[in-house]
Structure 1
């Protein structure tokens, strides 16, 4: 099922009372608000019963080709939504992360996110941060764009960066 169809279906089902409505937009991104937003998003994408975020404020899902991670940040209160580009098995070679950041600076489509490397997990993401609860349809569109861009970055941009850094 395509994501745009899924987005339209979630809106239709919520409108006729067959799916929960999105959390109200506009409030601060407290842990409870982040949990409800992620829970709603995951359920509308077919995840079934879920808490959205665990007790530590983390969650994730595989949706189509995209892999998403969610993290509630306490200070300032925000929700970081990330789409995986690549998970390094070993620490990245010098110049690799900088090469991805250079691609971002040169205007390669990031799907509205920014390049974000998490050294603890060795994962490279495109991430967006929300300090205010967004409209549910907007959040879904944002994640769709982020996920599509991350797939391109994991294939085409990764090859470009490797070629620039290593000359391969």
Structure 2
């Protein structure tokens, strides 16, 4: 029995069977429609039921495996912003906290391919990637899973480290 080559044909067929069709060829400028298809395909690949991907306002999201991933389409820049939640502050963060997370990023702590992003309007700290060109669907899914996994690690390990640095630097100096 012959088997199909591992060229992504199975993923392509899976998305067609799901009624989504491929987003678009990789490397071309992203459009709202292709962004929507990417998000739909990824959400479906995570076991969620068929989703519109992005709503009429250009927002979408997924909670899976203890991580929360948000999508936002930016019409003015024709870009898809993908943000994995690290932590949501109850109150605005104390001075130095966001700078502490940015220092972790600058020091080379793995960000899952994203960048540290604090959103004051919802007091959320995220690891964010932005796409302006269509990535391959398999690559996009792999990058989103990595971003989600890394956000969970930042929530447990990096959050404690930053809090120690900002609120108890004298303890770090003793070591």
TM-score > 0.5, shorter chain as reference: yes
C-alpha distance after superposition, 1:20-70 (max 9, x if no partner): 443122332222221111111111212212110011101011121221000
TM-score between both structures, scaled by the size of structure 1: 0.88
Structure 1 unpaired stretches of 5+: 1-7
TM-score between both structures, scaled by the size of structure 2: 0.85
Moved more, 15-24 or 129-138: 15-24
The alignment's C-alpha RMSD in Å is 1.9
Equivalences, count: 160
Partner Cα distance (2:22, 2:11) in 1: 11
Q: CA deviation at 1:15?
A: 3.3
Structure 2 unpaired stretches of 5+: 1-5
Partner Cα distance (2:140, 2:11) in 1: 17
Partner Cα distance (1:103, 1:22) in 2: 37
C-alpha distance after superposition, 1:106-140 (max 9, x if no partner): 00000100000111111000000000011000001
Q: CA deviation at 1:12?
A: 3.2
Seen in structure 2, the aligned counterparts of structure 1 residues 13 and 74 have a Cα distance that, compared at 3 Å, is: closer
Q: Which runs of 4+ in 1 moved over 3 A?
A: 10-22
